[in-house]
Chains A and B, each alone.
Chain A
Amino acid sequence: MMATVRNPARDAVAFVGVGTTPYLRDAGGKSATALACDAARTAIEDAGVDLADIDGICGSSVPTVSVQAALGLPAVTWWSNSSLPFSLLVIEAMNAVFSGACTTVLVYHSSLRGAGGSKTAAADPFRVHNASDAHGHNAAMTAESPSGTYGYCAWAQRYLDTYGVGRDALGLVAINGRANAARNPHALFREPLSMEQYLGARMIREPLCVLDMDPPVDAGDAFVLTTAERARDLGHRPVLLHAATSGRTDRPFADQLEDYTISGKEIVAWRLWEKSDVALSDVDVFFPYDGFSIMALSWVEAVGYCQPGEAGPFLAKHWSAGENRVLIDGRVPINTHGGSLSEGATQGAGHFREAVTQLRGDAGERQVPGAATALVTPGGFLWNATGFVLRGG
């Protein structure tokens, strides 16, 4: 590939505040705006910055005007509503801080479970009439629409066929997440999961079953980012954005991707390791996105742990029988919060929250000893692949 890789923003911008709401099937009458504001308040309090210091705001579907007005941020100089996953907002915010468009930025994502999620959701007029588009669904969609959901399910089938892999490879992602979620009070699903349960779970779109798809939740997450310099004067150990990138090919549509191995994730991996001073062997904790389980397998392969098609055997080889979860080389856990499959579907915001929490050393009984470097790969392999190396400052 062509362009010279530059990374002037290396370690220049830091996460300094983290906030969230409970992850619930029904937040009981709260709007998506309310959830965003709840998360934002806790993030701002966690960061210990004054409202007047926040001069940038970046959100997903809830308009930044609403959140700024509700919180009373008196003067912002940069704002953006961006597309998902959450990582794309983080990249925008990082760039805004690095460029000087703003100095301290609030980044948030919130969503309400859509009306199609369940019978109770379908009976809630606020869900029926205010369907948030967090999962790319809309009224014009039919069974045959080549949506992202279609794409990941159909590519999962081709993956299993191409590499001669069974569904148990996907099941390891779900089981690993559930074992980790047992130690995350924030997670929606915390009961242990067996392979037998996984293989017997309700099929949604073959070969993916209900346990391969992250459960929709009513939830909000927010973060405060600022310059590394300013971060050193605040209360927490800063978590530095060491390297960040997105990646997409010119065939990004769900059914037109040239091949499983010629996708955004290969561009991300190449660019990320070119930008980073650290290598895969330096990573202490890994957060492959798992909105669909196949995405996590694809990231294990793309970042360089193994070859395409080998993620299932790789996870099995690095499985800790005692802990019923993955520990790569006996050391590196994957999705210590449970991933979005167990914690809840928040477009990768949960992966960032956990990465920051681990690198601060604040993860309690989930803490990875001495965690200094986290690899976070939100998004999938069609049109929204992204990758990050985060380091404790």
Chain B
Amino acid sequence: MSALPDDAALFERFPGVGLDHDNKGLYRGFLERELRLNRCGACGHWQHPSLPMCPRCWSTDVVATPVSGRGEIYLLTVMHQGPPTPGVDYHSGYAVGSVELVEQRGLRYTSAIRSDGIRPAIGMPVELEWIERSGAPFPVFAARP
């Protein structure tokens, strides 16, 4: 495991990403292959995308905290065209879904759904996996039907 980069180096690792003080913890987590979403230090409420205040208790003690990466597919689309993306081939269909994580009802993270030949479906359980993209780890989900 390499040493964590400082803020300037983080920008170099994730060119084009709109990094700020609210989401830097998420991306720093990528480098350690941990999916870290913002969680309120006061009341424990999770929130995504990364914002600086807890909507439940207004605490600003919001900390990027690892999630298990387990959950169910809540939203799903199979893309046959889309933005040019390193390593993504739309030719045979590229599944992207929003996974409702076990940590909290309504807490969702969106990424690719890998399913090894089976057709992914809404409600299907998934686990987190990491792939490499542009020289940095990138979180995706693997279907576990």
Contact = CB atoms under 8 A, between A and B. Distances in A.
A271 B4 CA distance: 50
A258 B107 CA distance: 9
A206 B106 contact: no
A251 B78 contact: no
Contacts of A5: none
Range class of the B interface residue count = 20 to 34
Interface in A219-245: none
Interface in A10-60: none
A158 B76 contact: yes
A204 B16 CA distance: 25
A203 B91 CA distance: 11
Contacts of B78: 203, 205-206
Interface string B74-91: 111111111101001010
Given A142-B85, A143-B88, A144-B110, A158 B74 contact: yes
Contacts, number: 85
Contacts of A250: 55
A144 B94 CA distance: 10
A205 B79 contact: yes
B77 A150 contact: yes
B49 interface: yes
Interface string A196-216: 000000111111100000000
B76 A154 contact: yes
Given A158-B122, A258-B106, A143 B75 contact: no
B8 interface: no
Interface in B8-60: 16-18, 48-49, 55
Contacts of A116: 83
A264 to B, nearest CB: 17
B63 interface: no
Tell me which of B18, B75, B76, B110 has the highest count of chain A C-beta atoms within 10 A of its own C-beta. B75
Contacts of B76: 154, 157-158
A146 interface: yes
A254 B97 CA distance: 11
A15 B85 CA distance: 44
A145 interface: yes
Contacts of B83: 116, 137, 141-143, 145
B18 A146 contact: no
B99 to A, nearest CB: 9
Given A154-B75, A157-B76, A202-B80, A256 B106 contact: yes
A61 B50 CA distance: 27
Interface in A149-175: 150-151, 153-158, 161
Contacts of B74: 158
Interface of B: 16-18, 48-49, 55, 74-83, 85, 88, 90, 93-94, 96-98, 106, 108-112, 121-122, 140
